[in-house]
Structure 1
């Protein structure tokens, strides 16, 4: 079962440096939001880079990147950071830090782009969900086309998480289903392209 974390913190930091940096970046930005007006305050979120589908902010494409490191409320942060802490290490170990960083960031940006495209006007959004679903997309590719790389327990866990996550995306209010599915598709495609380039 590759999704059980046995490492001590020092070992974790040494083996998964990019994941560690991502965890710290998200936590630090949450603290910055908290002391600057609150992580649920729309003006504060917008000031620090959240996406808002309104003129002229909808054209500020840099927000698709910065919004990945902002979270609306502590529960939002906790859920995403737990998923990142548990599920990211095997991908970073398999791809190497650089390719893993590309996968994570590309999935997050593309998930944000899909979210802006499909969301209603006036929607304010932020969070690492698109990038994290990108990791799930990479695992889904592995489960379908590299079955030898996942044990049965890990594969079943992945399918359960994906199923529950997609259902939750549509049933829960204030959850961006478009960012989740956009990130999932992006991770699947980006990881597949990486495998294709590697084989070539």
Structure 2
């Protein structure tokens, strides 16, 4: 039986490992909420304090979470949706789209939500979900979890947050993933037509 290595599953597992290491460094129990202010020392971002030499935080902050259930949800969606997307786009490409969408989402939040603390992998998982919605079958496990991931992310933003709107970081990640998926679909169609023309 052929084994399949999923970089997205490794990425998801690393979120859990980082949570445990940060909890240990803070001297907290593993299920206790972690303070956004404390997480700044590990790479989280306070939007108003962001400087050009903090650019590394746009990537690193994606491994830091305030709430344990939030971190587990992100890890689950990244593992399931990312693995499904990898089978359509390649082992490297899907996680690269997810992380790039995450960086873009974090940066949009820095610019448009300067008073907030920015961390977490939700922007990245929304990017992966956007990619998956365009590149994989919706009736597959990955497609179903991708749809659920978007609904959960948007639902929490609209019905639980103070603004009643989808967070800019989530929206930016989702749009980036959708556009990346559409680009892949168009390239595949173009390649098929090109092959047909030359046969």
TM bin, normalised by shorter chain, reads 0.7 to 0.9
The alignment's C-alpha RMSD in Å is 2.7
Runs of 5+ in structure 1 lacking a partner?
Answer: 1-10, 143-148
Aligned 1:76-115 pairs, distance under 5 A = 76-115=70-109
Corresponding residue to 2:160 among 161, 172, 178: 172
Residue 17 (structure 1) aligns with = 6
Greater CA drift, 180-189 or 159-168: 159-168
In structure 2, distance between residues paired with 1:63 and 1:151: 34
Corresponding residue to 1:135 among 119, 128, 137: 128
Runs of 5+ in structure 2 lacking a partner?
Answer: 192-199
SS across alignment from 1:54? helix
Report the CA distance between 1:156 and its aligned residue.
Answer: 6.6
Residue 191 (structure 1) aligns with = 181
In structure 2, distance between residues paired with 1:177 and 1:187: 16
Report the CA distance between 1:94 and its aligned residue.
Answer: 1.2
Report the CA distance between 1:132 and its aligned residue.
Answer: 0.5
In structure 2, distance between residues paired with 1:80 and 1:186: 18
Residue 126 (structure 1) aligns with = 119
Contact 2:81 2:146 in 1 (8 A): no
In structure 1, distance between residues paired with 2:60 and 2:179: 22
In structure 2, distance between residues paired with 1:77 and 1:123: 18
Report the CA distance between 1:49 and its aligned residue.
Answer: 0.6
Residue 172 (structure 2) aligns with = 182
Change (3 A) 1:84 1:172: same
How many residues were matched structurally? 180
Return the TM-score normalized by structure 1: 0.76
Return the TM-score normalized by structure 2: 0.77
Report the CA distance between 1:67 and its aligned residue.
Answer: 0.7
Contact 2:128 2:177 in 1 (8 A): yes
Per-residue CA deviation, residues 118-148 of structure 1 (Å, 9 max, x unaligned), is: 21x3311211101100111112334xxxxxx
